[in-house]
């Protein structure tokens, strides 16, 4: 007989997720007060985002797979309600249906993986399952007439669930469309909350993944494809929110690559720094959209730094963190991640290393393409015909000036800019190279010595976070990032006739 118990597991992995989820959620709640003012669904919106935060906390605090699955589905349900929040729009209905269906595909794999765990260990409790990994590791099963290790099948099925939630190729198609929801939701779902559930779940089940190099290799290759190709798609977008959405996909690919290199703590560290600067970028984009009277096309913007100084400076901080500028938070997680992939010996790591390096260049290019088109250059909304504006009823008319957003919008921006600047510098040592995750993430040091090598580099060569930043100026990622920014500057500031 099986029993289902509800319990909570609070260790450092959970605590980190709780801090990220609650802080970003608080910022989004404050921001919403200004952003959704006057919307007929104001109350409904608040009840949804509070329920969303609850579901996410439920997911990270669970101590067994069944409860994890309930939290997993609750998050999926609320995200469906939020993406289709403006249900009068046919595009929103289409987008939330798509998100729902794609996530069901992933969840099918996830629940099969959980069922296999139950079948082989007779329990769903984390502690019991991770104690009996020896039993799982000893068995093989027949799959299409071939003997396959049970643990490999379980890990790949669990990861298919993560591919749905964390939007990895080919289950990524729902995330760009989910931009149909209001901007605060984009920040909550795509920065801190729902998309990080898959990354968290793989880190939580590290004792299983450590037993299967095949599964790790699969994880790494999927992540590498996502990191590179989603970045390339970000270059050609013209909707301000969609550019940032593709950037999220690409960064999730980076985290997945780190999981595949069995550098789980690096993936979690990147998850944390990314949550802050990506929430900042999304909320900054929302502020720009308010200033532009709900016009999201970056081809209609330009020179907004003159009218929206707070939005401009915070957006710049977010962009610099995203491309991995030394001393910013994104730099510490991204460079550690690239180095971990370089040191990894798992099959596919060379391809992954190539992908993340080229991805750095692509990231820098699309980030600063967005930045230059929105905040510098000509005031392009003045070039539109008056008649054309009156047909559309939204966007600035050529005579208007954009205005800075209200305080309830700019305060969260300022508060998110602070961790985007300093959190990496302050926390890299305890989180990556201290004993912060030693009890909550299991590493098989003999089989996967990546983290040992990283730690050696950090202490013996760099002598701390500041030295790491100085060393990076001569490194490949820094050269790739600066050339990406330089190319964006040339294309969108010097030579102005490019799209």
- Whether 53 and 22 have beta carbons less than 8 Å apart is answered as yes
Using CA of residue 330, residue 336, residue 338, residue 340, what is the dihedral sign?
Answer: negative
Beta bridge partners of 143: 146
Rounded mean pLDDT of 120-140?
A: 92
- What tens digit of pLDDT does each residue of 148-195 get? 999 999 999 999 999 999 999 999 999 999 999 999 999 998 877 889
Nearest to 88 by CA among 51, 47, 39, 48: 39
pLDDT tens, position by position, 46-90: 999 999 999 999 999 999 999 999 999 999 999 999 999 999 999
Nearest to 468 by CA among 430, 428, 435, 437: 428
In this structure, what token pair is assigned to residue 279? Answer: 């929430």
Residues 389-411 as b/e (b if ≥16 CB within 10 A, e otherwise) read: beeeeebbeeeeebebbeeebbe
pLDDT exceeding 90 applies to what percent of the chain? 84
Residue 387 has pLDDT above 60, yes or no: no
In contact, 281 and 447? CB cutoff 8 Å: no
Q: Count CB atoms within 10 A of the CB of residue 209.
A: 28
Residue 27 burial (CB < 10 Å; 0-12/13-18/19+)? buried
Q: Is the peptide bond before 170 cis (omega within 30 degrees of 0)?
A: yes
pLDDT at 498: 65
Residues found in the chain: 499
Rounded (10°) angle between helices 12-35 and 42-61: 170
Evaluated on CA atoms 90, 96, 99, 105, the torsion sign reads negative
Query: pLDDT for 350-375, tens place per residue?
Result: 999 999 999 999 999 999 999 999 99
Span 191-246, pLDDT tens digits: 778 899 999 999 999 999 999 999 999 999 999 999 999 999 999 999 999 999 99
Which of 259, 428, 263 lies closest to 332, judged by CA?
428
Q: Where are the alpha helices (DSSP H) in 376-472?
A: 386-392, 407-428, 450-456, 465-472
For the segment 452-472, the average pLDDT, to the nearest whole number, is 91
Q: Over the stretch 280-318, which tens digit does the pLDDT of each residue have? A: 999 999 999 999 999 999 998 999 999 999 999 999 999
**Residue 244: per-residue pLDDT:** 96
pTM of the shown model: 0.94
């Amino acid at each position: 007989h099986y029993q289902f118990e509800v319990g909570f597991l609070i260790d450092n992995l959970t605590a980190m997720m709780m801090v990220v989820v609650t802080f970003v959620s608080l910022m989004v709640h404050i921001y919403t007060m200004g952003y959704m003012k006057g919307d007929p669904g104001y109350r409904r919106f608040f009840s949804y985002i509070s329920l969303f935060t609850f579901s996410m906390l439920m997911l990270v605090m669970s101590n067994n797979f069944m409860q994890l699955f309930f939290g997993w589905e609750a998050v999926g349900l609320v995200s469906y309600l939020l993406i289709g929040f403006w249900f009068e729009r046919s595009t929103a209905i289409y987008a939330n249906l798509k998100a729902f269906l794609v996530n069901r595909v992933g969840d099918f794999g996830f629940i099969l993986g959980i069922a296999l765990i139950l079948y082989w260990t007779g329990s769903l409790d984390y502690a019991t399952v991770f104690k009996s990994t020896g039993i799982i590791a000893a068995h093989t099963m027949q799959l299409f007439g071939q003997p396959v290790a049970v643990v490999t099948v379980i890990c790949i099925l669990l990861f298919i669930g993560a591919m749905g939630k964390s939007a990895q190729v080919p289950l990524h198609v729902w995330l760009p469309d989910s931009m149909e929801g209001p901007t605060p939701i984009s920040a909550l779902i795509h920065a801190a909350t729902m998309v990080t559930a898959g990354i968290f779940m793989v880190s939580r089940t590290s004792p299983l993944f450590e037993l299967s190099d095949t599964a790790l290799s699969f994880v790494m290759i999927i992540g590498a494809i996502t990191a590179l190709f989603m970045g390339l798609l970000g270059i050609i977008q013209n909707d301000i929110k969609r550019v940032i959405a593709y950037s999220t996909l690409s960064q999730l690919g980076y985290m997945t690559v780190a999981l595949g290199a069995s550098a789980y703590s690096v993936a979690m560290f990147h998850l944390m720094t990314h949550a802050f600067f990506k929430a900042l970028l999304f909320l900054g984009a929302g502020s720009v959209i308010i200033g532009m009277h709900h016009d999201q096309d970056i081809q209609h913007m330009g020179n907004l730094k003159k009218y929206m100084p707070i939005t401009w400076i915070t957006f710049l901080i977010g962009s610099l963190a995203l491309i991995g500028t030394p001393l910013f938070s994104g730099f510490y997680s991204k460079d550690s991640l690239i180095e971990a992939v370089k040191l990894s010996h798992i099959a596919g790591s060379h391809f992954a290393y190539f992908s993340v390096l080229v991805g750095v260049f692509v990231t820098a290019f699309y980030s600063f393409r967005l930045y230059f088109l929105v905040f510098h250059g000509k005031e392009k909304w003045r070039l539109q015909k008056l008649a054309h504006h009156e047909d559309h009823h939204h966007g600035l008319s050529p005579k208007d000036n954009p205005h800075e957003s209200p305080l309830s919008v700019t305060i969260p921006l300022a508060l998110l800019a602070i961790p985007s600047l300093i959190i990496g510098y302050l926390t890299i040592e305890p989180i990556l190279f201290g004993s912060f995750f030693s009890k909550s993430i299991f590493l098989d040091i003999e089989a996967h010595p990546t983290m040992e090598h990283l730690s050696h580099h950090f202490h013996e060569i760099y002598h701390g976070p500041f030295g790491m930043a100085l060393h990076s100026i001569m490194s490949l990622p820094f050269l790739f990032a600066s050339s990406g920014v330089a190319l964006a500057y040339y294309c969108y500031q010097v030579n102005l006739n490019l799209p």
